[in-house]
Amino acid sequence: MRSLGFVALSTLALVSLSGVARAQSKDFEKGTFAISMERLSGFNHVKSSTTVNTPGGDVTTSTSADRFMLMGMEASSPADLPRVGLDYFIIDKLSLGGTLFIGYSSATTNLGGLGNANASATDILFAPRVGYAVMFNDTIGVWPRGGFSYFHRSIDPDNGPSDSAYYLALNLEAPFIFGLANGFAITAGPAVDVSLTGSATTHNANVSVDRDISYFSFGLFAGFLAWF
C-alpha cells in the first residue's frame, strides 16, 4: 500500500507546527506534547511463518526478507508501515502515547473479454506505548519506548476469495533525537517487533481456510519529531 502522499502531508504538518513549538529544553518536561512521523525510511529484516492445519498434520512455511525503504515506499509487513505518533509526558521524561496508521488501496485488473476485476485492501495499525526520553545536551537525546501493537488487514475482491489477517505484537524501540530547530528533530534508531499471536483467514463461498501467522522484525528507522 503506497503512503507517499500520507508521508508528505504529515511531514509538512510537522514542519509547520515546529514554527510555533516552544524553545527546546534539555529534558522533556511534564506537560510536553509530542507529534511524530515514524518509520519513514530505513532498513528492516523480517522473518515470517505461516502454519496450515491439514489432515496429514501442520504444514509450516517460513520466509525472510531484507528491505530498504525511503519516505513511504510500499510496506511489506506491519513493522515497516509509516505511522503517526502522539505522546504526552505525564511527568518529566516519562511519556504515554501510541502510533496509528490507516491505509486504503484499490486496484482494477482488465481481464479482456471477461471484463474488469476490482479489489480493495484496508490496513489498520494501532500501537499504544510508554517511553522515557533523555536529552544528553540541547540537541541530542534518546527516547526508548515499549508497547504493543494490533494490526488488521482485509482484502475484498468483487469476485473470488477474500482475505483477512491480524497480528498482536510486542514492540521495542530506541530512537535517537537529533535536534534541528526549537521543538523539531530528526529521529533514527533501532526497533524490534515480535508477534505474540496472529491469524489469517481466506473466505471462498461457504469454505474458510484458517492459518496461524507470525513474524519477527529488526530494523533501523528514521522519522521526524515535533514537541510543544
The answer on pLDDT for 216 being more than 80 is: yes
Overall average pLDDT of the 17-25 stretch: 44
Overall average pLDDT of the 221-227 stretch: 95
Confidence band of 41 (pLDDT split at 50, 70, 90): very high
pLDDT of residue 72: 58
Burial of 127 (0-12, 13-18, 19+ CB in 10 A): buried
> Which residues, including other chains, have CB under 8 Å from residue 156's CB and lie 6 or more apart?
119, 120, 121, 122, 162
Place of cell 534508531: 189
pLDDT of residue 114: 63
CA pair distance 110, 126, nearest whole angstrom: 35
pLDDT of residue 4: 42
At 77-106, the pLDDT tens digits run 888 899 999 999 999 999 999 999 998 888
pLDDT of residue 218: 96
The answer on pLDDT for 140 being more than 50 is: yes
At 172-208, the pLDDT tens digits run 999 999 999 888 999 999 999 999 999 999 888 777 7
Q: What's the pTM? A: 0.82
